[in-house]
Structure 1
Amino acid sequence: MRIPFVLAATLALAAPVLAQTTAATAASAPVPATANALLTPSPLPLRYPPFDKIRDADIGPALDQGMTEQLAEVATIADNPEPATFENTIVALERGGSTLGRASTLLFSLLGADANPARLKLQADYATRLSAHRDAISLNPKLFARIESLYQRRASLNLGAQEQRLVERYYNNLIRAGAKLDEAGKSRMKAINAELAGLGARFNQNVLSEVNDSAVVVDSVEALAGLSEEQISAAAAAAKARGLEGKYVIALLNTTGQPALTQLENRALRERIYTTSIARGSRGNAFDNTALVSRVVTLRAERARLLGFATHADFVLKDETAQTPQAVNAMLRQLAPAAVASARREGAELQAMVDKEQAAKGQPSFQVAAWDWSFYSEKVRAAKYGFDESQLKPYFEMKNVLENGVFYAAGQLYGLRFKERHDLPVYHPDVLVYDVFNADGSQLAIFIADMYARPSKRGGAWMNAYVDQSGLMDQKPVVANHLNIPKPADGKPTLLTWDEVNTMFHEFGHALHGMFSNVRYPSMAGTRVPRDFVEYPSQVNEMWADWPSILANYAKHYKTGEPMPRALLDKVLAAKQFNQGFATTEYLSAAMLDQRWHQLALEQIPAADRVMAFESQVLREEGYDYAAVPPRYRTPYFSHIMGGYAAGYYAYVWSEVLDANTVQWFKANGGLKRELGDAFRAKLLSQGGSQDAITLFRSLVGHEPQIQPLLQRRGLVLDTDKKPSKGASSAAGKPSATAASKDAAKDRVKSAEKAATK
């Protein structure tokens, strides 16, 4: 399961007007080096950011000026003596906020991709100020009165479907921001939002700091047996950069599992890396996040209650396709028993491998632990399918995968063409830039590829837009993909794992969603869709990673150029369901942690010293107390739920139901065909948030979402004849899915399918 992270516009939820990135027209002359390049639209193609002209010292003044400008724009709209119309209110808001949009987009994008002390300080300094600015707009009573007037008259205004939907979105967003609260409620809402903004910034900075602080130092090269020469050279270079000449540093990623665990033969070192990884954020040091988690969850619960919701999950899900926590719980609890059972079967295979190996050595066996899973799963894969990761990697050189795999698939399916350019500035030397052209030769977008991990970059993988598409603003998109691929030593090739290949295809699916956007209004552009829908197009794009004709075009040996042998390719395809119990369980346990944290009522939230105990309680109660498969993210470094995925991490599997149905649609209609790609683009990818999400899905595949394709894909079968495992019940004492009869299991399938269509 790829866990990308889409970098949502930080300013979009409470006040969609803040998310615009550029003004209607671009300056015609270059910005002088001494000027603040953020104060005027970029003169570069498609308003691509002039990274070489933007100084960190420019960002604060641009944010200040942007807030001042936007407040003046909003005041003009709110104080307009003329009756509210769509043009003088909604369109005026859509056109506003250009300076603030440029500055905030730039800051928050670079905080993710290339943070430095100056940018981190800006984040800390402006978090509460930007929150107060959002509230000043969202809680402006005159502005709300105008939008409420339009909302109440929307049926008689002769608006198009997109315009009426936009009015409804503005109205609902302002209601959810607290526009109907009394003055005391608004005052408390402002205080909550300000504190949450500051806590969120601290949490993310702690995560980044501790990832770097927790890097594992290794004294001898012998301990690194199993790593390639390139990986060892990279570890030596990382140590040298830290002033640790002669040693080796293994950097951590912000996930529980770490890439090195797949290859390291030294079990003691594997355990050390794993225990270091899972302790992050809860060690009682300067980066401990447990108190922050408790406070954030408390404030979110209070805000939800202030707005009339029982919990934060109720508040969030009301605006998603899921609509209710009950629908999400039904989905997660339906999948959980099958996933954990599959993971335990996989664990038994690993244990048999360990027992056999240890017996051959004449040594006592040991119980497979979490730090052993990746290492021995590769051995089991080799035994079952005749290959392991090391055999694949020489065929997956990074740039070749990008250009002859990801881009090639987009060319075959959509007719796109890509051309690398070297004349545009970048914020880091490793960044690649491409022009993207339609089949007719017209420019569609500019694409930025930032693939390497570095200490200044947060973990995970994500897409973000520097410029959103908009017909109103005459804008074409500039979008970026970010991965965290370990960079090899100078002169060495960047060889990818199969998971990294899939992640590259996944993130480019998000990029296509942004680049194909063809809407009029900026706040409906691209990936501005419900959170539990946004992962759907990106997951569909993964299907092309192992599509035979695509794989054959890019799976070529980095030295010889020889294609991957057909026998090895067939083995890769045969192993698609391998280790899916592990992958599904580690994801689902994190998703359920997110839900249980945000389904707590205000009075139920544990104090800081009970945060980790509550996590353990949830895993036990939900049936995930299988120590060999920990959650993909533990609470103190679960960055998703401190950002846009709070109560929304379930979105990956919710979207995957839609994805699996769509893959089935592609295959049933001929697979990799231009007419199917054109249909997917026209009916769904180009629509952004201009229509109801599930309506878009139905218009493409012709039926309601069905869960069976997902179960088949992952090799998950509900074993309803077995008794439930101890502790596999919900917090409310209701039986888990394993306790039900076959008829009840069928009912759950129908229920989940119905919930997915809401």
Structure 2
Amino acid sequence: MTNPFFTASPLPFGLPPFAEIADEHYRPGFDKGFTEQLAEVERIVRDPDEPTFENTLLPLERSGRILDRVSAVFYNKSSADSTEFTNELEEEIAPLYAAHSDAIRLSAELYARIAAVHADRERLEPEARYLVERYFTEFTIAGAALDDDDKALLRDYNSRLSTLTTRFEKNLLADTNELAVVIDDVAELDGLGEGEISAAAAAALDRGLEGRYLVTLVLPTGHPYLSSLTNRGVRERIMTASRARGGRGNEFDNRELVLEITRLRAERARLLGFDSHAAFVTADETAKTPEAVFEMLGALAPIAARNARAEQAALQSVAGGEPIEAWDWAFYCEKVRRATYDVDTAAMRPYFEAERVLQDGVFFAATSLYGVSFAERHDLVAYHPDARVFEVSNADGTPVGLYIYDLYTRDSKRGGAWMNSLISQSTLLGTPTIVVNNLNVPKPAEGSPTLLSFDEVNTLFHEFGHALHGLFALVTYPKFAGTNVFRDFVEFPSQVNEMWMLWPEVLANFAVHHVTGEPMPQDFVEKIQASSAFNEGFLTSEYLAAALLDQAWHAIGAEETVTDVAAFESAALQAVGLDNPAVPTRYSSTYFAHTFSGGYDAGYYSYIWSEVLDADTVDWFTENGGLTRENGDRFRSLLLGVGGSKDPLEAFRDFRGRDAVIAPLLKRRGLDGPGH
């Protein structure tokens, strides 16, 4: 049988032939992919001619096609539809992949050739010159200039870290599933809507718990249901279960992994010439240093904490005698929001039917801005029955790519929401674009509508912003494709796309009652806008707590020893004044997937770092007429379309005409008032 990974797919846009891919194809695909790419690199370094861009960088960019195909499909499956097989293979492959990457990045011969081209780069056109600069910088920071003994030690660090971070993710998924809260009596779910109760019943039935209800956990500490559930005991059970993940002393305990991962990262950073892992990471981001990160986050933390304490006092006045606990905040927050602003976000849910949000909201905004259209391809098979395939076309009918939409949660899907690419556009390779959006919305029983919460609608717009970035990037070289930009810039386009959720023309087009067909009352929107800074003390504090915790773990020097995860976390939060028990960090260490398995290590600050650019860009759209093709085309051509092919801050200046300013962010988050 021919392995489908060995040749390019004949399907439209190169869509992987999911119907033909079986478990037995993955390991041979990886093995052949590793072998083929190393042979391709060997041919580069054995070329007797003087190093040039044409004989070094171009073949390097063309290398690894089989590995790209199998990796994209496998890691998408292991995230979105994992099985016991994928879990075992991922742990098996992780150190092999790390060793393979090191064989390329630590090759002295290849580094010497790249350095020679780098020394003569001024003769190259801009995108090619930037490609050489990126390779030279990345190889240098990765350790290509180390001696052989240090490289051997570095390979060991990278191999061990790849195994540990993979195990962290698998432990978290397993413990998250195991800690789902079982409810026996539907009366205990008072406050939830019909669709939410239906989803809980369906989730229980999937686990063989007929007649009961299952509340599955989400990735952050908080849970969407906490704002609605009237039963305080159930709220506490959900919050307690959420915060227990990865720290219960069972087989899925992540505490030792956290200690080992941070220790190895610190030792590796020292080997590479950095004071800490945070210094190693930020050296090749727009922030450049952890001090720059802390300067911004540390300045915002006391203001956010003060605002959160004021919000807590307001909640306490509504709650009465019982002190506000972490599981009470969202519930009483909604009461205060209703009392102060007459806003009831739960009352909005009937207006957010999922299909209408997608078609008449998310897609409509993209069409209005960029002229693109979306046609569902029922003839194309995705990786799971719930995943749907859409063909994306420009206004003139020319193809853009495929968009795969996977809305619902399942036990086999990791928590959170994300975008990833199955194939990325490259003129050099002649490849098209296929991007995937995954969310984790509970699936109601057959026949019941999927009604999204306010936050879930916002998340869909956010993730679709990443998808647009992936779809619109038009670059020559694979290295710059799609969202391959600095980590602390990658959230910028997705955060900008959130603005269209409440833009009047967009909201009016999708926010329609799923039964009556009536549009969402205008006063709902006005009240939401009037309360836009409401609860921002809490929201900013919980985010900053996680971002600063991430920085604290990765500021550890190689000579420092940490033995107690909970004590370290407590001290780190206390040091920045974000240790309010009623405002827990968005992610605690043992389930902080972003930093211990998701590639945001020492980089979780990226969201608010990018939000400076985002808030400034929202001001630009507002000042220039908002939802227009002219504005969309400018944003597409100068920012989304360049992918990673130029310095991102330079791309921002091209679009905005200047560097970003922080004032719009402070205003948005309510951090610009008196005394701030």
Report the TM-score when normalising by structure 1: 0.88
| Cα distance in 1 between the residues matched to 2:336 and 2:407 | 30
Match of residue 5 from structure 2: 38
Match of residue 574 from structure 2: 620
Contact 1:338/1:717 (<8 A) preserved: no
Aligned residue type for 1:533: F
Aligned residue type for 2:267: E
CA positional deviation for 1:719: 5.5
State the SS of the aligned residue for 1:308.
coil
| Cα distance in 1 between the residues matched to 2:519 and 2:218 | 31
Match of residue 648 from structure 1: 603
Contact 1:338/1:718 (<8 A) preserved: no
Contact 1:339/1:581 (<8 A) preserved: yes
1:482-561 matches, cutoff 5 A: 482-561=438-517
| Cα distance in 1 between the residues matched to 2:257 and 2:487 | 24
| Cα distance in 2 between the residues matched to 1:211 and 1:126 | 24
| Cα distance in 1 between the residues matched to 2:604 and 2:673 | 23
Contact 2:202/2:444 (<8 A) preserved: no
Identify unmatched segments of 5+ residues in structure 1. Answer: 1-33, 356-364, 721-744, 746-758
| Cα distance in 1 between the residues matched to 2:673 and 2:573 | 20
1:181-200 matches, cutoff 5 A: 181-200=146-165
Select 2:286's aligned residue among 308, 321, 335.
Answer: 321
Contact 2:390/2:404 (<8 A) preserved: yes
| Cα distance in 1 between the residues matched to 2:120 and 2:646 | 20
| Cα distance in 2 between the residues matched to 1:271 and 1:306 | 45
| Cα distance in 1 between the residues matched to 2:246 and 2:413 | 18
- Alignment coverage as a number of residue pairs: 675
| Cα distance in 2 between the residues matched to 1:65 and 1:469 | 23
Contact 1:337/1:718 (<8 A) preserved: no
Select 1:298's aligned residue among 234, 255, 263.
Answer: 263
CA positional deviation for 1:229: 2.7
Give the percent of matched residue pairs that are identical in Structure 1 and Structure 2: 52
State the SS of the aligned residue for 1:484.
strand
State the SS of the aligned residue for 1:542.
helix
**For 1:595-642, what per-residue CA distance to the aligned partner results, in whole angstroms no more than 9, with x for missing partners?**
0110111122402xx111000001111000111110110001001002
Select 1:125's aligned residue among 72, 75, 92.
Answer: 92
1:374-523 matches, cutoff 5 A: 374-523=330-479
Aligned residue type for 1:646: D
Contact 1:470/1:519 (<8 A) preserved: yes
State the SS of the aligned residue for 2:248.
coil
State the SS of the aligned residue for 1:533.
coil
- Identify which range, 218-227 or 612-621, moves more after superposition: 218-227
Q: Does 1:98 align with 2:52?
A: no
Match of residue 740 from structure 1: none
Match of residue 329 from structure 2: 373
Select 1:154's aligned residue among 114, 121, 125.
Answer: 121
State the SS of the aligned residue for 2:482.
coil
Q: Does 1:208 align with 2:163?
A: no
CA positional deviation for 1:718: 6.1
Match of residue 656 from structure 2: 701
| Cα distance in 2 between the residues matched to 1:561 and 1:44 | 39
**For 1:195-226, what per-residue CA distance to the aligned partner results, in whole angstroms no more than 9, with x for missing partners?**
00110110000010000011111222222211
| Cα distance in 1 between the residues matched to 2:561 and 2:487 | 25
| Cα distance in 1 between the residues matched to 2:659 and 2:97 | 41
Contact 1:468/1:478 (<8 A) preserved: yes
| Cα distance in 2 between the residues matched to 1:220 and 1:175 | 60
**For 1:632-689, what per-residue CA distance to the aligned partner results, in whole angstroms no more than 9, with x for missing partners?**
1000100100231000000000000000111111111111111111111111110111
State the SS of the aligned residue for 1:532.
coil
Match of residue 222 from structure 1: 187
**For 1:256-306, what per-residue CA distance to the aligned partner results, in whole angstroms no more than 9, with x for missing partners?**
011221211111111111111111111111111110011111111111111
State the SS of the aligned residue for 1:482.
strand
| Cα distance in 2 between the residues matched to 1:656 and 1:590 | 16
CA positional deviation for 1:164: 0.9
**For 1:219-247, what per-residue CA distance to the aligned partner results, in whole angstroms no more than 9, with x for missing partners?**
22222211223322322222222222332
| Cα distance in 1 between the residues matched to 2:532 and 2:393 | 33
State the SS of the aligned residue for 2:219.
coil
State the SS of the aligned residue for 2:327.
helix
Q: Does 1:242 align with 2:207?
A: yes
CA positional deviation for 1:575: 2.2
**For 1:556-593, what per-residue CA distance to the aligned partner results, in whole angstroms no more than 9, with x for missing partners?**
11112221122222222222222211111111100000
Aligned residue type for 2:571: Q
| Cα distance in 2 between the residues matched to 1:456 and 1:244 | 18
**For 1:428-475, what per-residue CA distance to the aligned partner results, in whole angstroms no more than 9, with x for missing partners?**
111111111111111111101111111111111111010001011112
Select 1:341's aligned residue among 306, 330, 339.
Answer: 306
**For 1:705-755, what per-residue CA distance to the aligned partner results, in whole angstroms no more than 9, with x for missing partners?**
1111001111113664xxxxxxxxxxxxxxxxxxxxxxxx8xxxxxxxxxx
Aligned-pair Cα RMSD in Å: 1.2
Match of residue 176 from structure 1: 141
| Cα distance in 2 between the residues matched to 1:149 and 1:169 | 14
Q: Does 1:48 align with 2:11?
A: no
**For 1:517-541, what per-residue CA distance to the aligned partner results, in whole angstroms no more than 9, with x for missing partners?**
0110010111111111010111111
Aligned residue type for 2:493: P
| Cα distance in 2 between the residues matched to 1:388 and 1:345 | 21
Q: Does 1:167 align with 2:132?
A: yes
| Cα distance in 2 between the residues matched to 1:109 and 1:237 | 25
1:584-733 matches, cutoff 5 A: 584-607=540-563, 610-642=564-596, 643-717=598-672, 720=675
Aligned residue type for 1:568: F
State the SS of the aligned residue for 2:559.
helix
**For 1:352-396, what per-residue CA distance to the aligned partner results, in whole angstroms no more than 9, with x for missing partners?**
1111xxxxxxxxx20010000111111111112223122100110
**For 1:162-207, what per-residue CA distance to the aligned partner results, in whole angstroms no more than 9, with x for missing partners?**
1111111111111122111111100000100010011011000001
Match of residue 116 from structure 1: 83
Aligned residue type for 2:396: D
Select 1:577's aligned residue among 533, 538, 548.
Answer: 533
| Cα distance in 2 between the residues matched to 1:442 and 1:120 | 39
1:12-23 matches, cutoff 5 A: none
Aligned residue type for 1:452: Y
| Cα distance in 2 between the residues matched to 1:577 and 1:114 | 37
Aligned residue type for 1:467: I
Contact 1:338/1:719 (<8 A) preserved: no
Contact 1:297/1:605 (<8 A) preserved: no
State the SS of the aligned residue for 2:328.
helix
